[in-house]
Structure formats: structure tokens, C-alpha cells
Amino acid sequence: MGFIMDGLAAEAYDRTYSDRDLIRRIWRYFRPHSGRVALVAIMVVLGSVVATIIPITISRSIELLAGDPATQMLIGLAAVVALMGALGWFFNFVRLTFSARAVGDVVLALREDAFRAVLQRDMSFYNQYASGRIVSRVTSDTQDFATVVTLTIDLLSQLLLVVIIAVVMLTINWQLALITLAAGPIVIAAALTFRRVARLTTRQAQRALANVNASIQETVSGIAVAKSFRQEAAIYQQFRQTNELAFRVRLRQGLVFSSIFPLLNLLSGIAIATIVYFGGRLAIGGVVSVGEWYLFVQSLAIFFFPLTSIASFWSQFQQGLSASERVFALIDAEPKVVQTGKEPVTHLAGRIEFRDVWFTYEAGQDRITVSPASHPSTQWVLAGFSLTIPAGQKLAIVGHTGAGKSSLIKLITRFYEFQAGQLLIDGQDIRTLDLAQYRRQIGLVPQSPFLFSGTVAENIRYGRPDATIEDVRAVAYQIGGGEWVADLPDGLETDVGERGARLSLGQRQLVALARVLLQNPSIFILDEATASIDPFTETQVQEGLDIVMQGRTSIIIAHRLSTVRTADRIIVLKQGRIIEEGTHDQLLSAGGHYAELYNTYFRHQSLDYKPWEETAPGA
């Protein structure tokens, strides 16, 4: 069966909880609903009592009818049985109604906790784990969690019924009762042998479903790329493999679950046949009456059905526990970005200082208490990096791909944790600041901005929900005089579509820039945001940039000459180190790495660029 488990490895943050720990934690969610739970418990007791009274009533009636048969007695018996049946239905209805409400409220709370945990996870968490698998834990696993709760209530009612029936059988004939009770441990032992296999197969089935969800989500998100490269067939083949893996795992789970109940029925059937034979001989010999023998036979059926149900449900019970285990693992995942304090952040001047910072993306690297040099095998993105950005300075960062430009941004925005050194904001350790308040002081325009479903105005207002439409319109018209707004079908009320699909890349950039302008941050970060837009849109963006950068600390990662040459200071990165710094003119005059980058990437963007004046190769 090893091939079935291929590709279903646990996530690094998964944990193993004992059944006791899981049940104790599940009960914490039920504690606020203890009143409903108590009512459900009462209904379970009353329903079990009614289920026991019916065969006892019929048994006593058989004995009375044998001595003095009468029509009125039959009518009375029918009335009593009908009344008990109606009461049983009522008790069961109340139990199901209130248990459904309690379970629904608990699942609601658990899903909210899981979603809150998703929001609190670091960016490194989403880079390491597939989003589809995370979604599966919040949706599918929380729903499976409801299964374990419903089954628990059913099992409690069945268990109580077993106890009551056992007492009744002991009062009828203790010898036959002991024979019956002796078969109980055999049935339970057979069920418990399935426990480990059932827990393993259900856990693997949930991981397989998460893989399917991840595959579907990734395909839908990248469908444009897939179609442009005509890879629909390849993606379908990959999905078939993932889906077949899920099928094989689910098939194995089904075989495990479906094999236990017939076995338990066989064991209980043998026990019932044995008791019927010996009980019948006792009835023939006059040791017990016919009514008592009938009651005993009826009690056997009532006794073994809940017992086999308890045993067979145990495997399904494991499915709910596995689901809750996966949800709790998501909630309990250790954060990488850890704040040591919550100092209030009202307004920042914007001074940023890196002091001997060491940083890597490698998993498992946490804060280092000894010298980073003692980790020679680590692939450091930044190794002993130091940089000071004065408040209000416009800093441009250039360098080849992989030089560490975006890594600096991820550390300043506190999306990732650095392993050693210090990062100071206005002289304060960034780890001591209130993270939510600090991030409100940062405005980030990424290269590929994300827009939420809704209108342009709603997306601009995203960082300031309390802003009026006049505020939104004011910042929108600061960029390019608002010409881009006039080009939209419905102006600021234009629906952007899913992920902004109804807008061009340039329009999405302009919306993102307006969103930051409305936020009015102290630190402004432009992450290669003008690298993929047309010159006209770039001009509109540049006009907005000139406004937003005034009086703010601005950090620019750009591939456009217009956003680099106007910077107060330019630093050139190579393999996580600053190899040059200065103004545009100073670095060009130095003839170093920046001059090489300028001639390779930037020079052709200059209005003074004359390609025909270049020396031909080989001349």
C-alpha cells in the first residue's frame, strides 16, 4: 500500500494530538453551549428509557395474555406502545434539533478561529505551503469536525441504552446476562483493532482531498498562463494523477470502514444465536417464563445493535478526530515573525537602519543566538547587511535579480523574520512595535497589485474604510489629472472583477497607487511597480509618485530610468551586499556596476539615447 501514500506527507507544522487532548479541546468549544448540551443529554436519557420500556411492556403483556386473554388488554398494550413510540420520537426530535444548533455554533466558532489563524500566519507560511491545502483545513476539515461531534452524541445515547439493557437482562436471568455481557468485550476488541488503521487512512484521505483542492485552486488562478502556453492537456493529466491518488486513498478508507460492520454483525449474530438456544431451553424447562424469554431475546437485539454501532462508529469517530487534529495544527502553528513588544506607533519620521542583519529564506532557520558565521551551510540572502536610510530620503535600490532588493522590502514591512542583527525604525527595534499600527505607516505598491472584487472606489478605500467618496475622488484625480478615471466605463464605480481582471495592468497600478495615497503613510515603498506598464501610464504614475514621495521616506525598486535618476541616493546590491552608492550622476561617472546596469537596462529609456551612435560589435 506504499504507493497509495506517495505525495501525502504531513506539513511541517502538523502535530500529533492524543485522543484525550483532542476531546478536551473540543469540549472547550462546547462549554459556552453547556445548557443545550445538558438538554440533549436529558433527551438521550429519556429516549433510552423509552426504548427500554417498550420491550418490557410487551413482555409483561404476553405473560398477562397467556393467563387471561382480553381484547381490552390488547387495546391498552397498543396504546402504551404507541404512546412510548410518540414520546421516543419527541425526545429524539428535541435531541437532534438542539444538538444540530450546538454543533453548528461550535463549527462556526472553530472555522472563525481557523480563519483568524490564517490571517495571522506570516508571509513565509504561504510561500512554504500550498494555499489550496490551507483552504481545505478551513472548509472541509472543519465540516468533518462536525461529524465527530454528532457521532459523539449518538454514541453517548447508544452507550446509555447498553447500560440500561444490561441492568434489565441481569434482573431477568443473571446467567444468560453474563454470557451476553461476555460477548461485549470481544466486539469492542475487534473494533479497537481497526483504530490505528482507521486513524491513518482518514488522515491520508484528508491530505489527498487537500491536494485536490490545491490543484484546482492553482489551475484556476493560473488559467491564463496555461491557455497562453496551450498546457490544458498537461494540467488535466496532472489533475488526473492527483485525483486518482485521492480515489485510491478514499477507496482504502471505504474498505476499512465497510469491513468492520459485517464482522461485528457476525460476532453479535453468533452471540444472539447462542443465547436464543440456551434461553429457549430454560423457557421449555420452566426456569424462565415465555414473556421473560421474549424480553431477553428483544433485549439481546437492543443490546448488540448499539454495541456494534459504538464499535463500528469508532472508525468514523477517528475521521472527525483527524479533521480536528488538522484544524488545531493550523491554529497552533508557530509564527516566525514574533514581536517582543507592542509599543504604540502614532506617527513615524521614517528613519530606517539595518545593523548587521542576517537573513535567509531557508525553512527551519529561527532567531540565531550565536554567531551566524557558525552556520556555513546556510544560503544567506543578506549576510551582515548594514544600511541607514535617513527620514524623508528617496532611496533607489538597483541590482540584478536575486541581489536581495525585494528581501529588504520584506524585512521592512515585517513580512519575514531576520535571523540575526537589528532593524531599527526611528531608533526603535522593529520587533518592539505594535505590528498593526506600524504597518499602517507603510504604503506598498507592488509590481503585481492585487485588487479585491468590488468597485475601483472600494479598492482605493481599502486601507481607510471610513474615507468618503470625496476623499477617494481627490486622491484619484491627483494621479495624471484623473484622465485614467475618465477612461473607466463607470468611473470610480467600475467593477474591477475578480483579482482586478477587468482592468489593465496599468490601471491596476494606478488604483494601487491611489490606495496608498489615501492611506497617507510615513514610509513609501515602490517595488518595481512601473516595470511592466506603457510609457503613457508610467507618466501618470510618475506624477502621482512625485506627490506621494514629498516629505516621506521613499524606497524605490525600479527598472525604469525615470524612477531611478530622480532619487536622492542610489545603492547597488550584489549578492546581498552594497557594492556602490551615490547619486545617478556620481555612479555614472564612477563607471562601475551601476554604469554597466545603466548601459544595459536604463540607457535606452533616456530621451538622449541614440542607438545609431553606438559602436557596432567587433568594430
User: What does pLDDT average to in each consecutive run of 10 residues of the chain (619 residues)?
Assistant: 47 78 84 84 80 72 63 70 84 86 86 87 78 78 74 69 75 72 71 65 74 74 64 79 82 72 71 75 74 69 65 64 84 85 89 93 62 71 92 90 88 90 93 90 84 88 88 86 85 85 83 87 79 65 75 81 80 91 90 83 52 42
DSSP-derived 3-state class of residue 102: helix
Quote the cell numbers at residue 569: 541616493
In degrees to the nearest 10, what's the CA dihedral of 414, 415, 420, 421? -30
| C-alpha gyration radius of the chain | 35
Which residue shows C-alpha cell 488545531? 328
CA dist., res. 456 & res. 608, Å (int) = 37
What pLDDT, on a 0 to 100 scale, did the predictor assign at position 613? 44
pLDDT of residue 601: 64
Predicted pLDDT at 355: 94
Angle at alpha carbon of residue 318, lines to 316 and 320, rounded to 5°: 80
What pLDDT shows up at residue 617? 42
Alpha carbon distance 322, 24 (integer Å): 15
Task: Identify the CATH homologous superfamily for domain 392-412+432-608.
Answer: P-loop containing nucleotide triphosphate hydrolases (3.40.50.300)
* Assigned CATH topology for domain 2-331: ABC transporter transmembrane region fold (1.20.1560)
Cell numbers of 489, please?
A: 466605463
Alpha-carbon distance 257 to 318, whole Å?
11
Strand partners, 424: 353, 429
Sequence-distant (6+) residues with CB within 8 A of 374 are none
Number of alpha helices (DSSP H) and beta strands (DSSP E) in the chain = 21, 10
Domain-wise residue ranges, the chain: 2-331, 392-412+432-608
Q: Which amino acid is at 511?
A: V
> Do 417 and 363 meet the contact criterion of CB atoms below 8 Å apart?
no
Residue among 81, 86, 92 at smallest CA distance from 45: 92
